[in-house]
Amino acid sequence: MSTLSIRPATEQDIDLILHFVRELAIYEKAEDEAKATPEHVRRTLFCEHPAVFGLICEVDGKAVGFAVYFFNYSTWQGQHGLYLEDLYITPDARGHGAGKALLQQLAQIAIDKNCGRFEWSCLDWNTPSLKFYDSLGALPQTEWIRYRMTGDALQALASGQKTVS
């Protein structure tokens, strides 16, 4: 029987985290968008006062996945929430409880930190993950549209310049 364990990510895991990020980006058909470097990860996850945190999932001492999360805030609830930025399990380790164990650990962190919510996003074409989340009792949020600004649009807004639609 395999031993599954979850531990906080450490600075020694930077290359491992980036490996999983690249695998996730390939799976999500967005490999060219994964631009994080070891220095990015070091300065964000392993700085003196990090605002983002990581977990490593291991089976029999071998890393098979990771999760990266941070805390947000709901003015309506007057409570923090836990937001799961990424969760990835290597293909050969899927279906054996590693993903569920990571989600359970994150749910426990949310409870321990008195969070009112535990949220994440999933690509609409990722049917295996959508079915998995549904099986856990997670509810898709269809009434909100997620927006994103990057690059030139972000720079233009920050500087007060007019943006072209």
Closest of 54, 60, 154, 34 to residue 109, by C-alpha: 54
> Which is catalytic among the residues 27, 69, 73, 133?
133
Contact assessment for residue 88 and residue 20, using Cβ atoms and an 8 Å cutoff:
yes
Contact assessment for residue 59 and residue 93, using Cβ atoms and an 8 Å cutoff:
yes
Q: Give the CA distances from residue 50 to residues 38, 53, 127, 148, in Å, rounded to whole numbers and listed in that order.
A: 15, 7, 33, 23
133 in catalytic set: yes
Q: What tens-digit pLDDT sequence spans the chain (165 residues)?
A: 789 999 999 999 999 999 999 999 999 999 999 999 999 999 999 999 999 999 999 999 999 999 999 999 999 999 999 999 999 999 999 999 999 999 999 999 999 999 999 999 988 898 999 998 999 999 999 888 888 888 999 999 999 987 666
